[in-house]
Amino acid sequence: MKKTAYALALLAGGLLLAGCSSDHVMQMKDGRTVVVQGKPQVDKATGMVVYTDENGQQQAVNQDQIKEMSSLDK
């Protein structure tokens, strides 16, 4: 019984975290559109925007190359 309750609690916690992180879309100045997992982070020291792409790979792009950034409504 305790194992089932523990498993359900872990599952509920994971779903809650997954539901809170909405995807974002970055429209680049060169016309490309990039879908981002979660919210991109800006490194103020370097001016780079660090994000995780659709394939789960961490990427970085110069903030000057981004035309617009918005959250993706699910």
Spell out the per-residue pLDDT of the chain, length 74, in tens. Answer: 665 554 445 444 444 444 456 899 999 999 999 999 999 999 999 999 999 998 999 999 999 999 999 998 75
Residue 17's pLDDT is: 45
Residue 36's pLDDT is: 94
Domains in the chain (CATH in brackets) are 22-74 (2.30.30.100)
d(CA 64, CA 67): 8
Residue 74's pLDDT is: 59
In 3D space, the residue among 35, 28, 60, 25 whose CA is nearest the CA of residue 46 turns out to be 60
Residue 45's pLDDT is: 93
Residue 16's pLDDT is: 43
Reported as type and span, the H/E element at residue 2 is helix 2-20
